[in-house]
Amino acid sequence: MAASSAQLGVAADLLALLGDTATEPRPDPQLEALTLAVAADLPVLLWGEPGIGKTAVLTQLAEALELPLTTVIASVHEPSDFSGLPVLGDDPAVQGVPMAPPDWAVRLVRAGRGLLFLDELSTAPPAVQAALLRLVLERRVGALRLPAGVRIVAAANPRSSAADGWELSPPLANRFVHLQWTYDHDVVVRGLGGMWPRAALPRLDPARLSEAVTFARRAVCGLLTARPTLVHRLPNSEARRGGAWPSPRSWDMTLRLVAFATAAGTSREVLSMLVRGAVGDGPGLELLASLDRLDLPDPETLLADPAGAELPERGDLRQAVLDGVVEAVWKQPDRSRWDAAWQLLVRALDTGAPDLVVVPANTLAALRRPDWDVPASIERLAGAVSLTRQADKAATRVAAGAGSGR
């Protein structure tokens, strides 16, 4: 008996050594997206195949943020565990029947803060999902309201790989920011070696908070003004209804995410994960495209100082800037503005692809007034425009020849 106890003690020591791991700063867009959504106090749902470390990530996140972790397996609970258990008082006709919360909710309220992890969400039957609606949105369990310091993260397996899986109901799905969780080979190998990525909340710049809110509202409201059909679009298929889709609620979450990402200086990759996880791929990508255009320099600023202008590197954004400059001259034609626009086109020719200046150059030339002298800079552009036209004609001839040879 003594020998067996000693061996169990040695086994415990070995297990402790195996569990002794450390963390390191390491770029991890998935983890960064998760921590930003947690900082924004939005419910997050991690989708991924079984065994890829979703639960382990939440455990490590709670430790890094120094939040007590409370794990609730949704599928093994009854609806009353979330809506509250009725408890008869002395006089129900006068006092009513209070709905008593479960013990895990009471512990969270006593702690005042924590990370509530709703695991195996896709195996919860519809009745349990309905009971979760109030918990996820209003943070209420029975008659108890969870404190503001509690964050909610859930995990789910796709229905095809879940044990007795169900599709998420549209009302419940629309309350989450959906993140597709995948494993990274290098992260897994290094983690098994004892070094995992470190989870940390984003560093928000206090000086940029007001600017971030203004930018987020301008971006979301600008898109929805131009694309009113995106305000609410319930998908047709049951499977897609269980994911991210646009509604006033999810656009409100998106606005919050854009503001937090702006204040934190988050990368476009991380922001893309978040906005597509809130309103879906199509609307999310449209918003990202409009964000690119919001970041474009003001045409009037460029016309005021063409020699010092900084043009975007990306071709589509540079084209949009040049078109905007020409449009500004068209709206307010002036000799000095016309000359400044030509200087900008020359700068674009010197720093980027020549074909991007062809259309703006032709449009700008058409705006010339009879008393405006032709600037010398046009000579530099003439060669690029001529070469581009020759290339277009050659491409047309090649295409015609290939067609006739069939």
Query: How many CA atoms does the CB half-sphere of 318 hold within 13 Å?
Result: 22
Angstrom distance (rounded) from CA 186 to CA 6 = 38
Could you read off the pLDDT of 109-126 as tens digits, one per residue? Answer: 999 999 999 988 888 888
CA torsion angle 340 346 348 351 (round to 10) = -130
- Comparing 388 with 365, the larger pLDDT belongs to 365
The mean pLDDT value for 159-181 works out to: 82
Angstrom distance (rounded) from CA 68 to CA 111 = 8
Report the candidate in 123, 232, 204, 135 with the shortest Cα–Cα distance to residue 176.
135
Question: Taking 50 as the threshold, does the pLDDT of residue 382 lie above it?
Answer: yes
CB 296 within 8 A of CB 320: yes
* Alpha helices per DSSP H over 65-184: 80-83, 92-95, 103-111, 126-138, 170-173
CB 327 within 8 A of CB 362: no
Q: Is 378 exposed, middle or buried (0-12, 13-18, 19+ CB in 10 A)?
A: middle
Q: Percentage of the chain with pLDDT > 70?
A: 87
CB 385 within 8 A of CB 362: yes
State phi, psi for 236 to the nearest 5 degrees.
-80, -40
- pLDDT for the residue 394: 41
Could you read off the pLDDT of 195-213 as tens digits, one per residue? Answer: 878 878 889 999 999 999 9
What integer best gives the mean pLDDT of the chain?
83
